[in-house]
Structure formats: C-alpha cells, structure tokens
Amino acid sequence: MSSASAGSQTLPFESGLPRRNFLLLTQDAEFEDMPGNYHGIIIISRVRQSPPIQDRTAIWFGAIERFISQRPAGKLFDLLETGEIVAWDIRPSE
C-alpha cells in the first residue's frame, strides 16, 4: 500500500474507481482489502471459471438483478456459485 496522505492508505487499483456510487462485479480478490471509504458496492464473484461462459453470465446477471431489487445493506459482498450474494461482516480490528 502507498500513502495517499498522512493517515490514509490507498490501493493501486483505487485511482481507477469512480468517485460516485457504482456497483463493481469482479473476480479479483484484491478488492477484499478495499478500505471502507469508497462510494460504491463491490461484489466478488466466487463462481469458478470452469463452467461455460453462458452459465457464468446467467449466474452473474441473475444475481445482480436480485441484488438491485433487494438492495441489501453493506458495501462488500461475495457472489457464490449458487447465485446467492452474501454480505461480508466487516468488523474493526483491535
């Protein structure tokens, strides 16, 4: 991590994220370390790459549609192979 200013940390990919609200579906585990001060929702797909792309995209699109209609609380989620989106339970470190 590099220091953006005294007391704040930034990850290399943060500079490319929008400054407004967004929903990002990714398979990139680096987003697990995202600090909580961003203005968006990150869903990390845990769907394996081995199924055909049409099966994976059906899972992704279905999950996003349900997510948008349900609007669960939170900013960081996992998308499971079942299509279920599960919120992370983020707790402050001691």
pLDDT, position 1: 32
Q: Quick check: 18 pLDDT over 60?
A: no
* Global pTM value: 0.69
In a domain, 13, yes or no: no
Could you list the residue range(s) of the whole structural domain that residue 74 is in?
Answer: 18-87
- How many domains are contained in the chain? 1
Contacts (Cβ under 8 Å, ≥6 apart) of 10: 1, 2, 3, 4, 35
How sure is the predictor about 37, in pLDDT bands with cuts at 50, 70 and 90?
Answer: low
pLDDT, position 23: 77
In a domain, 4, yes or no: no
Distance in angstroms (rounded) separating the CA atoms of residues 4 and 44? 25
pLDDT, position 5: 38
pLDDT, position 7: 42
* CB contact at 8 A, 31 and 44: yes
| 34-to-29, 59, 82 alpha-carbon distances in Å | 10, 24, 25
Give 41-79 pLDDT, tens digit per residue. 889 999 999 999 999 999 999 999 999 999 888 888 999
